[in-house]
Structure 1
């Protein structure tokens, strides 16, 4: 906190609190994802895609049971630099976390590094925004585990929307996500 007194002035206690929360959330998140959340997050992503009608996409990366049942049945499943401040940390980490959040989507699409890079580059602002929101939500200790799931569901919903927009374009409608968004306004 003494170092923060020089860089943050009277806001040093607040900055120290945020730095401690960020560090605790990072440790909790790393431990949880390493030991038991990794597969659960993949299952959540896949289930969300299937709930949005993207079973064929999910089937490219795993076995999907045929027949009636909910998506989980079909899947076979019942700031490390506190002196810099949490805002720049969230911005820097957000740029990488956005694309990382859709890693499962890229895997299911079978995209290589070049395709993924081109896709992300064309939507850099959206991916960075997703990443920043994810980073900020996952900075909160303990509940960051819950936010890991909500962030995964959000990423899968976005992937399903992108697939739907892609299918509409291929179907000859000529409407993409932007034209649909303009109509909604």
Structure 2
């Protein structure tokens, strides 16, 4: 049986695995970046109390009214007590969906836009942000204070009826013992991952065709990123915090993509007689 050349093996196997692992780390990078940069704290303080009360209200009611009935139903298909584990994740998933819809519809989207833009400014990509809002040169030590009001419609992530519908349709996967929860997170992450870069696509000026092509080249990375993002959303009482750190993580990833893209463009422009377009 012929062996693949080393370069082909790296390109086909090692590099995709490496890229997916790196994508999985971004949600955690976002948490540590948020904690380590106090200029982001005001956005959390402004939303903390209403977010905590709303999360507590939703989860308490779900566990009080629906947990035991769902565990009893799952026990028909499970053995060795796994119904309790899957039932917990099922209720947390339901709560996460409700809380995310309420947060993103009424409390969070504007804050996520501000966080995303502030992180890009802090990383030195003011030119991207200026496409949608003014960025002053004052308050150089505080990227958030440098942001002016948006000059064009600014949405962090669109409200996706399709995503919500898929989330509801896929919830029964939690009935499957042991593998149901990971499978649920992976399949819902398929849709959730790319939506976290909706703001980046807008700043880049992508149309629908360009956006889909960009996502297609990174489909597995976005899926794994989305699965980890959704896993953090299942942590009781911290959904709001992780929604905000998700905006940090997506901005950090976008900044790394920009760095790679611009280095590629610089290399192409310096190569004599080479006219091929760099990767968008």
- The TM-score normalised by the length of structure 2 is 0.58
1:141 counterpart = 2:272:
no
Deviations 1:59-113 (A, max 9, x none): 1121222334321111138x53543113222111101111000110001011011
Task: Quote the RMSD (CA, aligned, Å).
Answer: 1.8
On the 8 A contact 2:194/2:226 being kept in 1, the answer is: yes
Deviations 1:125-176 (A, max 9, x none): 11111111101111223201111111111110010000011111111179xx
CA distance in 1, matches of 2:135, 2:94: 38
Deviations 1:9-60 (A, max 9, x none): 2311111111111111221221122111110001101111111111000111
Alignment of 1:33-52 (within 5 A): 33-52=104-123
Show the counterpart of 2:96.
Answer: 25
CA distance in 2, matches of 1:139, 1:126: 21
1:72 counterpart = 2:147:
no
1:161 counterpart = 2:256:
yes
Alignment of 1:47-126 (within 5 A): 47-69=118-140, 70-76=142-148, 80=168, 81-85=170-174, 86-126=181-221
Runs of at least 5 residues in structure 1 that lack an aligned partner in the other structure? 175-185
On the 8 A contact 2:133/2:148 being kept in 1, the answer is: no
1:150 counterpart = 2:221:
no
- The TM-score normalised by the length of structure 1 is 0.87
On the 8 A contact 1:60/1:108 being kept in 2, the answer is: yes
Rg (Cα) greater in structure: 2
On the 8 A contact 1:28/1:141 being kept in 2, the answer is: no
On the 8 A contact 1:97/1:131 being kept in 2, the answer is: yes
The DSSP-based 3-state class of the residue aligned with 1:9 is: coil
On the 8 A contact 1:137/1:147 being kept in 2, the answer is: yes
On the 8 A contact 2:193/2:224 being kept in 1, the answer is: yes
